[in-house]
Amino acid sequence: MQVTVPQSRVHGDAQVPPSKSYTHRAILAAGYADGALVRHALKSADTRETMGAVEAFGGDVVEVEGVLEIDGFDGNPEAPPDVVDCGNSGTTMRLATGAAALVDGGTVLTGDVSLRSRPQAPLLDAVEQLGGRARSTRGNGQAPLVVEGPIGGGSVTIPGDVSSQFISALLMAGAVTDDGLEIELSTELKSAPYVDITVELLDDFGVHAERTEAGYRVDGGQTYEPTEGEYAVPGDFSSSSYLLAAGALAGDPEVEVRGVYPSAQGDSAILGILEEMGADLDWHRDDGRAVVRRSELTGTTVDVGDTPDLLPTLAVLGAAADGTTELVNAEHVRYKETDRVSAMAEELAKMGAEIEEERDALIVHGSESELVGADVEGLGDHRVVMSLAVAALVAEGETTITGAEDVDVSFPGFFDTLYDLGVSVSRE
């Protein structure tokens, strides 16, 4: 499906969807438990892959009046009866690889063409260090993967600059090993707030994990059990970034974004970055509302080491701002659904943006950029699609974006929300 988005002003209220990161973890944690209810879960393509993985390991997930009722495998995942297909979801593949390492038997994991090109080698190596077997069928560190357990815990050394999801996977699995895990990071940790989310969610499920000087540790023999048997998922700040950016670029008179309570999510930094760029906004933290009005923005420098998923949104804000915006420490943003550093440079250039790409940075010359509507590619990446739709709001004429259905990965109602904010989106 492609969408056409005309230059538009936006106004009204928008609710952010539930957090994808918390939903994945809550579903899997309920799997590691005897079971649990997960309220306000994000029902999207990626989180359904994690539901499928929990079922493959012997759990059961049903949705009753919007609530996920999950029967867990109680710390003992079974050998899946079939290949575990993780679709487009990196989080599912990494977290499920951790669970697969506990299985007394083998698990085969695969995914779509994008996921089969993303790095998995450090996690496979970690499973091997712990006495399991884990390999890439093509020997290139990418899925399809074959993982054999069970691991009993121990010490492991792993790089931190490829994906934090490896650490999250090891912590979640490590809690139900016999001996627990001591994780040593051999390189600086990128995307660190996502491990904070894991540690916070584990705590809500009665499992203790902690940061150490060298990395992380989790004791073995722990039991997953959320307070009163249930867990409620908070709103998603990565998804909020498109709505907040739409308000800052085109809010007339204003956009109110709901569901943005203070959170461990690194991407909550979007509010501070928008303010620094000069956006006229009020964040009412106590009732989770942010009100944003159209503003003259100026360029800034953002280290996206902790917040890789904001890069597409920030590139668009930079292209519409006065001055230069530098998005630095961004190499890990290349290992996503697509190489988002190149993707944003190429697609925004089609819309008239002046952008320079470096291996680990994107430099956007906003003053030189006169955004014009164009035919652009979503490149199979939900965040590229949504950020280009925001760029379209301030581009002269109309912008047509391919692959609009990919928003289903993290924000299924995205184009309906945009329509409700007054944008005449057309789909074909």
Ligand X SMILES: O=C(O)C1=C[C@@H](OP(=O)(O)O)[C@@H](O)[C@H](O)C1
Interacting residues toward ligand PEP by CB under 6 A: 20, 46, 89-91, 309, 336-337, 383, 410
Tokens of residue 351, six digits:
């819309």
Torsion of CA 271, 248, 380, 160, to 10 degrees: -20
Tokens of residue 323, six digits:
């001055």
Q: Which does 326 bind (CB under 5 to 8 A by kind): ligand PEP, ligand X, none?
A: none
Q: Among the options 46, 309, 381, 406, which is catalytic?
A: 309
What's the DSSP call for residue 295?
-
Where b means 16+ CB within 10 Å and e means fewer, 405-428 reads bbbbbbbbbbbebbeebebebeee
Tokens of residue 72, six digits:
């867990």
Spatial distance between the Cα atoms of 101 and 273, rounded to a whole number of angstroms: 40
25 annotated as ligand-binding: yes
Does 91 participate in binding ligand X (rule CB under 6 A)? yes
Task: Candidates 88, 164, 177, 387: give the one binding ligand X (CB under 6 A).
Answer: 164
What's the DSSP call for residue 394?
T
42 or 391, CB closer to ligand PEP? 42
Spatial distance between the Cα atoms of 330 and 136, rounded to a whole number of angstroms: 26
Q: Which does 21 bind (CB under 5 to 8 A by kind): ligand PEP, ligand X, none?
A: ligand X
Tokens of residue 8, six digits:
């538009």
CB of 109 to ligand X, least distance (A): 16
Amino acid letter, 339: D
Q: Which does 410 bind (CB under 5 to 8 A by kind): ligand X, ligand PEP, none?
A: ligand PEP
Task: Give the range of 31-39, 120-128, 178-186, 188-196 binding ligand X by CB under 6 A.
Answer: 188-196
Three-state DSSP state, 168: helix
239 annotated as ligand-binding: no
Does 308 participate in binding ligand X (rule CB under 6 A)? yes
Does 300 participate in binding ligand X (rule CB under 6 A)? no
Q: Which does 120 bind (CB under 5 to 8 A by kind): ligand X, ligand PEP, none?
A: none
90 or 174, CB closer to ligand PEP? 90
Q: Up-side HSE of residue 329: CA atoms within 13 Å toward CB?
A: 15
Does 120 participate in binding ligand X (rule CB under 6 A)? no
399 or 414, CB closer to ligand X? 414
Is residue 196 within 8 Å of 169, Cβ to Cβ? Answer: no
Count how many residues are written for the chain. 428
Catalytic (active site) residue 178: no
CB of 423 to ligand X, least distance (A): 25
426 annotated as ligand-binding: no
163 or 295, CB closer to ligand X? 163
Spatial distance between the Cα atoms of 379 and 356, rounded to a whole number of angstroms: 19
Spatial distance between the Cα atoms of 136 and 146, rounded to a whole number of angstroms: 6
21 or 325, CB closer to ligand PEP? 21
15 annotated as ligand-binding: no
Does 309 participate in binding ligand X (rule CB under 6 A)? yes
| Residue 350, Cβ density class (10 Å: 0-12 exposed, 13-18 middle, ≥19 buried) | middle
98 annotated as ligand-binding: no
Spatial distance between the Cα atoms of 387 and 244, rounded to a whole number of angstroms: 11
Task: Give the range of 8-16, 162-170, 344-352, 414-422 binding ligand X by CB under 6 A.
Answer: 162-170
| Residue 16, Cβ density class (10 Å: 0-12 exposed, 13-18 middle, ≥19 buried) | buried
- The residue whose two tokens read 């493959």 is 56
Does 332 participate in binding ligand X (rule CB under 6 A)? yes
Phi–psi pair at 195, nearest 5 degrees: -75, -35
350 annotated as ligand-binding: no
Q: Which does 191 bind (CB under 5 to 8 A by kind): ligand PEP, ligand X, none?
A: ligand X
CB of 118 to ligand PEP, least distance (A): 8
Binding-site residue numbers are 20-21, 25, 90, 118, 163-165, 191, 309, 336, 340, 383
Residues noted as catalytic? 309
Which residues here bind ligand X, judged by CB under 6 A? 21, 91, 163-165, 168, 190-191, 194, 308-309, 332
Binding-site residue numbers for phosphoenolpyruvate are 20, 90, 118, 165, 340, 383
Binding-site residue numbers for 3-phosphoshikimate are 20-21, 25, 163-165, 191, 309, 336
